[in-house]
Amino acid sequence: MKNDKILELKNVSAGYNGEIIIEDVSLEIFENDFIGVIGPNGAGKTTLIKTILRLITPYSGKISYYFKAGKSEAPIGYLPQVNTIDRKFPITVEDVVLSGLLNRQKITKRFSKKEKEKVKELMDQMRIGNIARKPIGELSGGQMQRVFLCRAIISDPELLILDEPNTYVDNKFESELYEILKKLNEKMAIIVVSHDIGTISSYVKTIACVNRHVHYHKSNIISQEQLDSYNCPIQLITHGHIPHTVLESHEG
């Protein structure tokens, strides 16, 4: 199976108000990738994601996109960190998911019957079909995650980016989520940010460790020595032959 490059960062530095948060990042992403992004709080994980999404403009370096023309109207699906979502925004579950299909033409056009059916099918599959008409302000954290995951994947993106999807999610949905992602990875590249890679290390194929700089490991196994040399306050534990990586507690 071919595995084309879809995205490349070359010596990218970015941040806010002139301050550098991520520095000299070079990274290639391919269509079959399933990358776990780890690192302590405030390390710049979300900043890296926002840079890839073009929500912030790099100070220096270059980002190249190689998405296939006509394949998806929204080539990157994005699940933001839930604590950044405005719950007071007066919009229903169904509308949030539908908004994942918005593009330039749709701003004046109505959604088709086929699109609405696709949304319904996905919501049922994610078990939020029963709350389709609820305003998002009334949802639990776990329900919010599912709603925004549906929104991120409804356009069949080429790259799906999830920022801390396991926050607020109950254990049952967490393992379900990773099974869903594993399935989606047959069709799209996935980047999943987590400060707790315990569960994800057995699902992801590679690991990027962020701490101002990005260290990319072309494997889902990472040694304690490697982590120490990157100043990542993360500790490895092993159950049987499956390595688990967990975050040590740290200040701030």
Ligand X SMILES: Nc1ncnc2c1ncn2[C@@H]1O[C@H](COP(=O)(O)OP(=O)(O)O)[C@@H](O)[C@H]1O
* Interaction site with ligand X (CB under 6 A): 16, 21, 39, 41-47
Give the nearest distance from C-beta 106 to ligand X in angstroms: 29
Kindly state the smallest distance separating residue 15's Cβ from ligand X, in Å: 7
Helix (H, G, I), strand (E, B), or coil: what is residue 195?
coil
41 binding partner (options ligand X, Mg ion, none; Cβ < 5 to 8 Å by kind): ligand X
Taking the complex as a whole, the smallest distance from the CB of residue 120 to Mg ion amounts, in Å, to 32
Q: Which stretch binds Mg ion (CB under 5 A): 45-53, 85-93, 140-148, 200-208?
A: 45-53
Least distance (Å) from ligand X to the CB of residue 222?
17
> b/e map of 179-194 (b: 16 or more CB within 10 Å)?
ebbeebbeebbbbbbb
Q: Which one of Mg ion, ligand X, none is in contact with 42 (Cβ closer than 5 to 8 A by kind)?
A: ligand X
User: For the purposes of burial, counting CB atoms within 10 Å of the CB of 71, is it exposed (0-12), middle (13-18) or buried (19 or more)?
Assistant: exposed
Question: 194 near 36, Cβ under 8 Å?
Answer: yes
In the complex, the smallest distance separating the C-beta of residue 192 from Mg ion, rounded to whole angstroms, is 12
Is 166 near Mg ion (CB under 5 A)?
no
Tokens standing for residue 95 = 């509308």
Q: Which does residue 44 bind out of Mg ion, ligand X, none, counting CB within 5 to 8 angstroms by kind? A: ligand X
Residue 47 binding Mg ion, by CB under 5 A: no
Beta strands in the chain (DSSP E): 5-16, 19-30, 34-38, 60-65, 76-79, 159-163, 189-193, 206-211, 213-217, 234-239, 242-247
Residue 147 partner contact from Mg ion, ligand X, none using kind-dependent CB cut-offs of 5 to 8 Å: none
Structure-token pair, residue 33:
């990738």
Nearest approach, Cβ of residue 38 and Mg ion (Å): 11
Please select the residue that binds Mg ion; options are 6, 22, 46, 75, rule is CB under 5 A: 46
Eight-state DSSP code of residue 135: B
Angle at 191 between CA 19 and CA 71, to 5 degrees: 110
Residue 199 contacts residue 162 (beta carbons within 8 Å): no
In the bound state with ligand X, the residue whose beta carbon lies nearer, of 16 and 89, is: 16
Rule CB under 5 A: is residue 194 a binding residue for Mg ion?
Answer: no
Interface ranges with Mg ion (CB under 5 A): 45-46
